[in-house]
Structure 1
Amino acid sequence: MKRTYWTDTIFCTLFVFVFLGITYWFTGIFDVLKPLSQALKDFEMTDLIYARRVAADGSTYNLQDDHAAADTNIVLVNIGTLNREGIAAEVEVINAQKPRLIAIDTVFEQATTPQADSLLAASLAQVEHLVLGVNVYQSRLTEKDSLGSYYAPLYANAKKAALGFASGARNKVTRDFYPARHVGDSLIPSFAAQMAKIAYPHAYEHLQERNNTKERINYRRTDLQYITLDVQDIFNPELAVNLKDKVVILGYMGQQLGTQSWEVKYYTPLNEKYIGKTAPDMFEAAIHANTLSMIKDSDYLNQMPQWLCVLLGIALCLLNVRLFLWVNQWFSRWYDAITKLLQFVEIALLLYIVLLVFSHFHYKIDLTLGLTALLFAGDLLEVYTSVVKNLALLLKTKIPRI
C-alpha cells in the first residue's frame, strides 16, 4: 500500500508539472492570451510590499513607508526641456554651492552649435566631481558590450557611467541593474555605482565585494522622498535648499515637475497597479537615486538561489499531493471542501511568510512554482486518479504479454 501511495504521489506530481508546462507554453503561443501571460510574468509577490496604495485623503503609501525616511543627501533636479545653454546655466548655479558631486542623467551624443557646446563645456570643466551618462549596448555575439557615441569634448572632465537597467525593455518592470558593464578591455560602472564610487567610496567597495553581475534594486523611496527641484527653483535667487555636500542628479522629470510625461520613465514595483501595469511610474533619475541610496546604506536585497526555489517548489507539490491522496482515500466525500480549505490556508500562510521575510530581512524567497503547483494540485489529482490512472490501466491490459 505504501509503495502504491508513493508511486501515485510521484506520478501525480509529475503530471501537475507537465500540465503547468503545457499551460505556460499554451499561453505563450496564442496572441489572445499573451497580454495575460505578460502581465503575470511581470508580477512578483514582493510587489505587494512595494506597490503604492491610495489613502482616503488622496496621499499614497506602501508597506515600507514606516521604515524608509527621506534621503536628504541626494537632490534631484529637473532639466525639463532645457537646451545645452540652459543645462550649462543650471550646472553653474548648482556648482557654486559646492555639492559633493554633480551627475547628469543624459547622453550628449554629438555636437550642436559651437556656442552651446562651448558654454556647456566651460560649465562642466568647473565641476570638481562630475558624472556623465553614456549608452552601453549589449552584444548578442560576445560577453562584452559596446559603447554608444558621445561628444568627447563635453566628457573631458567627467567620469563616464553606463546608463540603462537590466530589465531589457521599458515595457517591463525595472527591477535590476548591472553594477558595471564590460566594454572592450575595461569596465564602465553603472550610473549609480559611479556616483557611489566618488561620493561614498567605502559603500562602493562593499558593492564590489558582493561580486554580483546583477543586483536587485531596493525601491525604498519615491521622488517625493528626495529633495526635488524644478528648473525655476534652481534659477530662483532665493533658493531655500542648501546643496553643499549633496549628491545632485540632473535629469528629465517632465516639462515641469508634476506634469504627465512618459519620456525617460519606467515601470517599477512601486506602481499602484502591481498586475497589468498601465502607465510607467518613475523617472530614470529617481531610479538612480534609489539605487544610490541602496548602495550608500548597504541596504541590498538578497535572493534565494534559483535551484533552491525549484527544489522547494517540487517538495511543496510532492508533500501536498501526498496529503491530498490521503484525504481522497479516507474522506473522499469531503475531498473538495478539505483540499480547498487546505490550499487557501497554505497559500495565505506561505505568502505571509514570504512577505514578512522580504520586508524585515530583505531576503526574497521565490515560491511562485510551488504555490502555482499547489493551486492546481487538488483538481489535477482528481484528473489523475479518475482519468490518467484508468487510461494507463486500460492500455496496460490491452498490451499483449510476450
Structure 2
Amino acid sequence: MFKKFWLDTILGTIFILLLMLGFSRLTYFKIFDVLDPIGDAFADMETTDIVFSQIRQAPTAEEDIVLVNIGTENRAGIAYMISIINQFNPKVVGVDTFFKNPKDSIGDQLLEEAFASVENLILVSKLENTDEDDQFDSLGLSHSRFNQHAQTAFANFITGASTQEDLKNCRTFAPREMVNGKMEYALSVKLAMEFAPEKAEKFLKRGNDVEIINYKGNVFDYGATKFGTTYFALDVQDVYNQNFVPDLIEGKIVIFCFLGNYLGDRQALEDKYFTPLNAKYTGKAHADMFGGVVHANALSMILNENYIDSMSDNWSYFWAFFLLYLNVTAFCYIYKVVPKWYDGLTKLIQLLEALALFSMVVYVFNFYDYKLEFNLAIIAILLSGDLLEIYFGVIKNLFTKEGRRELTKLKKL
C-alpha cells in the first residue's frame, strides 16, 4: 500500500507535467486564441506591473537628467535649440532622432555646426538585420556629416512587437550588442558612461544580456502613468525663450527627443510605448511613455544603482516541479483517505497557495527589487487538483481490469 501510494504520486506528477507540456504547445500555436477574449486583456500584463502602477510610492524627481522636446522642429530649429542649450555647459548631450539624408543646405549646415560645438555628443543608432545566429549584423546611422561629430548608441528597445500595429510593451532593454565585431551600447548606458563612468562600469559588470527597467516616472502626461512629472522637460518655446535657470542644464545630461507636438500631447503616437507605469495596467488603450523618457528611466536606474534582479529559469522550473510534486502528494493522500472532501479541500488549498505566491511576488518585488518567477508554479498548482483527478478517474482505470470492464458495461448499456 505504501509503495503504491508513492508510485501514484510519481505517475500522477508525470501525467500532469506531460499535459502541461501539451497545453503549452497548443498555446504556442495559438489554437485557443479565438476562445480567449478575457485572456487577451491580460496578455500584456505581468504581476509586477501592479507594483509599479498601484503600490509603489512616487520617487523623488530626477535632478541629473533633463529632456528637451524637439516637437516638429526642422533641422535648423533643432540646431538652434542645441546651440542654446550648449551655452549652459551640459555634461553630455544625447539626441534621440535620426538625420539620415541631406535635406536642405542651410538647415544641414546649421545642424552640423551645432553638433560640432557640443563637447560630448551622442547620436542614436539602430540595430538592424539579424543573421542566422540571431545576431545584429548592421547599424542604421545618421548621415556621416552629422555622425562624424558624435559617438553612437542604439535606441532599440525589447518590446515583443513584430509589426507596427502590435502593442509595444517596454519592460526590458539590452545594455549592449555586438555588431560586426564592434560593441555598440544602449543610449542610456552610453550616456551613463560619459556622465558617471564608474556607475556604468558597475552596471555592465552584472553581465546580463537583458535588464529589467526599474521605472521611476514620466514627464508631464495628464495622468497617463502613476508617477507623473519625475523628469524635468523643456518644450520648444521654453528653449527658444530660455525659460529655465542655468543650473538646470549645467553639468547635467540633456536628451533631445520627441515628446509630442507639445508637452502633454496625448494624441501623438510616434515613438511611444506601453510601460508598467501605465495607469490602466489591464486592457491598455493608450501608450503612456515616449522613447526618450524610457531611455531616461533606464539611465536613472544605472545612475542610482537600483537594479532589478530576477529568478533564473532553472530556479523557476525547480520551484514549479517541487510545489507540483508537493501538491500531488498531499492531494493523493486526501483522495485515498477522505475522498468525499477531495474537491473542496484541493480547491481551497490551491486558492491559498496561489494567493500566497502572488503576494510573495508582489512583496519581494516592491521591497527588494527582485522578480520572483512563480507564474509556472502557480499554473502547476491550479491545474494539479483537477488533472490528478483525471489521472485517478481515467488514466489509472484504463490500466485495470475492473476499470475496463466497467467501460464495457457502459458500451452494452
Q: Give the TM-score taking structure 1 as reference length.
A: 0.90
Written as runs of structure 1 = structure 2, the 5 A alignment for 1:281-360 is 281-360=288-367
Alignment partner of 1:227 out of 222, 229, 232: 232
| CA drift at 1:392 | 2.7
String of CA shifts for 1:20-58, please: whole Å, max 9, x gaps: 33333334135514766665553322122112xxxxxxx
- Render the CA deviation track for 1:219-255: whole Å, top value 9, x for unaligned: 1222321112211221224434721111111111111
- After TM superposition, list the pairs within 5 Å mapping 1:83-232 onto structure 2: 83-142=74-133, 143-169=135-161, 171-223=167-219, 224-232=229-237
Gaps of 5+ in 2: 220-228, 406-413
Residue 13 of structure 1 aligns with an amino acid whose one-letter code is: T
- 1:321 and 1:273 map into 2 onto residues whose CA distance is 37
Task: Choose 205-214 or 247-256, whichever is displaced more.
Answer: 205-214
Structure 1 position 2, deviation (Å) = 2.5
Q: CA deviation at 1:138?
A: 4.3
1:144 to partner: Cα distance: 4.5
The one-character-per-residue Cα deviations of 1:305-332 (angstroms, maximum 9, x if unpaired) are 1011011101111101111111222222
Secondary structure at 1:80 match in 2: coil
- Partner amino acid, structure 2, of 1:288: H
Q: State how many pairs are aligned.
A: 387
Q: Which runs of 5+ in 1 are unaligned?
A: 52-61
RMSD in angstroms over aligned alpha carbons? 2.1
Q: Which residue of 2 aligns with 1:57?
A: none
Matched, 1:44 2:50: no
The letter for the 1-side match of 2:343 is D
Q: Kindly tell me: are residues 320 and 301 of structure 1, through their superposed partners in 2, closer, same or farther at Cα, counting changes over 3 Å?
A: same
Query: Residues 145 and 64 of structure 1: is their aligned pair in 2 closer, same or farther, counting only changes over 3 Å?
Result: farther
Match of 1:26 in 2: 26
C-alpha change, 1:311 and 1:140, in structure 2 (3 Å) is same
Number of the residue aligned with 1:239 = 244
Amino acid at match of 1:43: M
Q: Which amino acid aligns with 1:281?
A: D
1:279 and 2:286 matched: yes
Secondary structure (helix, strand or coil) at the match of 2:47 reads: coil
1:100 deviation in Å?
A: 1.4
Deviation at 1:126, TM superposition (A): 0.9
- Identify if the C-alpha distance between structure 1 residues 13 and 40 changes in structure 2 by more than 3 Å, giving closer, same or farther: farther
Q: Secondary structure at the match of 2:102?
A: coil
In the other structure, the counterpart of 1:7 is 7
Task: Describe the superposition over 1:364-400 as per-residue Cα deviations: whole angstroms up to 9, x where unpaired.
Answer: 11011110011111122222211121123259979xx
Give the distance between the partners of 1:39 and 1:8, measured in 2 at CA: 38
Q: Alignment partner for residue 250 of structure 1, among 256, 267, 286?
A: 256
Percent identical residues: 36
Structure 2: how far apart are the matches of 1:35 and 1:338?
Answer: 30
CA distance in 2, matches of 1:114, 1:128: 24
Q: In the aligned structure 2, how far is the partner of 1:93 from the partner of 1:355?
A: 45
- Distance (whole Å) between structure 2 residues aligned to residue 360 and residue 133 of structure 1: 34
C-alpha distance in 2, partners of 1:4/1:354? 36
Q: Contact conserved, 2:100 with 2:143, CA < 8 A, in 1? A: yes
Q: Would the alpha carbon gap of residues 87 and 230 (structure 1) be closer, same or farther in structure 2, given more than 3 Å must change?
A: same
In 2, distance between residues paired with 1:139 and 1:38? 29
Q: CA deviation at 1:116?
A: 0.8
Does residue 269 of structure 2 align to residue 262 of structure 1?
A: yes
Equivalent AA in structure 1 for residue 206 of structure 2: R
Structure 1 residues 278, 195: CA separation in 2 closer, same or farther (over 3 Å shift)? same
- Could you tell me how far 1:16 is from its partner in structure 2? 2.1
> Residue 107 of structure 1 contacts residue 135 of structure 1 at CA under 8 Å; is this kept in 2?
no
SS at match of 1:145: strand
Give, as a single letter, the amino acid of the residue that structure 1 aligns with 2:254.
V
- In structure 2, what is the equivalent of residue 58 of structure 1? none
User: Deviation digits for residues 122-168 of structure 1, max 9, x if unmatched?
Assistant: 11111111111011114132434311142011112211111111234
Query: Could you tell me how far apart the structure 1 residues matched to 2:17 and 2:268 are?
Result: 43
Q: Are 2:371 and 1:364 equivalent residues in the alignment?
A: yes
d(CA) in 2 for partners of 1:34 and 1:197?
Answer: 46
Change in 2 beyond 3 A, CA 1:6/1:306: same
